[in-house]
Amino acid sequence: MLDIKMVRKDPALVAAELARRDLSFDIDAFLALDARRKQADIDSQNLQAEKKQASKQIGELVKAGTPVDEAKQTVNAVLERISAQLDEAAAQARQLQNELDNLMMSLPNLLAAVVPVGKTEADNQELERWGEPTVPEFEVLDHVDVGAQLKGLDFEMAAKITGARFAVMSGPVARLHRALTQFMLDLHTREHGYTELYVPYIVNADSLRGTGQLPKFEEDLFKLRHDVDFYLIPTAEVPITNMVRDRIIEPDELGEGLRYVAHTPCFRSEAGSYGRDTRGMIRQHQFEKVELVQMVRPEHSAAAHEALTGHAEAVLRALELPYRKVLLCAGDTSANANTTYDLEVWLPAQQTYREISSCSNFGDYQARRMKARWRNPETGKPELLHTLNGSGLAIGRTLVAILENYQQADGSVLVPSALGPYMAGLERLSPP
C-alpha cells in the first residue's frame, strides 16, 4: 500500500507515476474523499465536546433554580439528540474511512526509475543470456510427448480425477520432480544462507491482504467453503511474508536481513487465461515451487534484489539450462512490485524462452499493509521493512525444461549431473 501522507503531499507526482502503468488516478476524487473523511472526524469530535458540555448543564440549571427532575429531563433530551447525531456522524466517518482504505488498497506500487516504458512482455528489456540453446539433429518433442513416451506424465488421468490443468506423474519422472525440489532446497540453505520453512498451505484473508492478493486479485484464488474465509495459497510468499505481519523486528534478529526458503504446492485459478498454455505443465491450477523470500532494511533493498535473483540463476546454471534475464517493463510488472526481473528458460520445442522465475522487490508496499517493521538502532524508532521474493525455482517448469533440453533421439532423457545424488545413481530416464 502507498503512503497516504505522500499521496496527500504530492498527488500530482503519484498520478504521474501511476500513469507509467497506464493507470489514471483521479486526484480531485481522492482529495474530495479525503476532505470528507477529515470533516466527518471533526464533526464527531465537535459532537463529543458538545455532549460533554451538555452533561454539565444539570448542575448549572439546578443552581439557577430549576427543579432537579426538570433539569435532568431537559438535559437528557439534549443528550439524546446529540447521541443520535454522534452515532450518525461516527457511522459516516467509518464509511468514508472504509472508502478511503479501499481506494488506497487498490492503488499499485510506484515503479522504480529503472523500469522501462512499455505495455506488454514484448517491451521487456533483455539484460543477459547464459548458455547456448541446444540444436538437436533429431525432431524435438515437447515435454508432453516426452513424458508420454517415458510413461511418466499423464494428463488424461488427472483430468479424470479432477479436471483440466492438472497432471499425474509416475516412476522416474516423479522421482526427477522430487529430486529437483530437494536439490533446490539444499542449494539455497547450504550455499545461499536461507532458513528452510514448512508453512501452511491454507491462509486467511488477512494474510492475502497483507501481501496484496486481496482484494484486487480474489478471482485468481481458490476460496474454501468454510465458516472462516480460508484460501489455498497461490505461492509460499503469502504465509512466509506474513510471518512479520504486525511485528517489530529487533536489529539483532534482523541482522543483514531475513532469508527464508520453502517448498509448497501453489494453487491458482488462472482466471482470464483460458486458451493460453493449455497443453502440458506450463500453466496449471496446482504446481510446486521452491520460493525465496527476504525481509531487509530499506538501504539493503536493491542489493538484496540482485542477490536473490542471482540465487535463482544459480539453480539454472547448476542444471546447465540456457536462460535469459529480463527487466520487466511498466505494463508487465505486477501491481505489488516496484521492480521485477524474470528468468526465462530455453524450451527447444517452442524455440523460445519462457518464464521460470520472477524475482521482485516490493519496497515497503507490502510492509505498510502488514505493519511489518524493524527497530532502527540509530533512532530507536520502528521503520517499515522492505520485502522481496522470487521463485527459486518453479519445479514443474524446471522439469519441463529438463525433459525438453536433455531429451535424446531414442526418446530417453539424460539426468543433469547436479541431480545425480538425488536420483539414486539413475543417469538416464528411458522409455519402458
Among candidates 346, 318, 347, which has minimal Cα distance to 421? 318
Query: Cα(229)–Cα(236) distance, rounded to whole angstroms?
Result: 18
401 contacts 346 by C-beta, under 8 angstroms: yes
Dihedrals phi, psi of 294, to nearest 5 degrees: -130, 145
Q: Which of 50, 320, 355, 383 is catalytic?
A: 355
CA distances from 111 to 159, 175, 339, 372 (A): 40, 41, 6, 21
Active-site residue flag, 20: no
Q: Which of 268, 297, 369, 373 is catalytic?
A: 268
Residue 135 C-beta-side C-alpha neighbours within 13 Å: 1
Lookup result for grid cell 431537559: 74
Active-site residue flag, 317: no
69 contacts 101 by C-beta, under 8 angstroms: no
Per-residue three-class SS string for 312-369: HHHHHHHCCCCEEEEECCHHHCCCCCCEEEEEEEEECCCCEEEEEEEEEECCCHHHHH
Q: Which of 358, 368, 369, 404 is catalytic?
A: 358
Q: Which of 209, 368, 397, 404 is catalytic?
A: 397
SS3 240: helix
The x, y and z cell numbers of residue 54, run together, are 451538555
Helix (H) or strand (E) holding 190: helix 171-190
Question: Which residues does the annotation place in the binding site?
Answer: 235-237, 268-270, 291, 355-358, 391
Active-site residue flag, 283: yes
Active-site residue flag, 358: yes
SS3 392: strand
Question: Which residues does the annotation place in the binding site for L-serine?
Answer: 235-237, 291, 391
Q: Which of 129, 247, 283, 324 is catalytic?
A: 283
Count of all residues that appear for the chain in the document: 432
For 265, left (φ over 0), alpha (ψ -120 to 50), or beta? beta
**Cβ atoms within 10 Å, residue 300:** 16
Question: Which residues does the annotation place in the binding site for ATP?
Answer: 268-270, 355-358
Q: Where are the alpha helices (DSSP H) in 20-112?
A: 27-55, 57-63, 68-106
SS3 149: helix
Active-site residue flag, 355: yes
Q: Annotated active-site positions, please?
A: 268, 283, 355, 358, 397
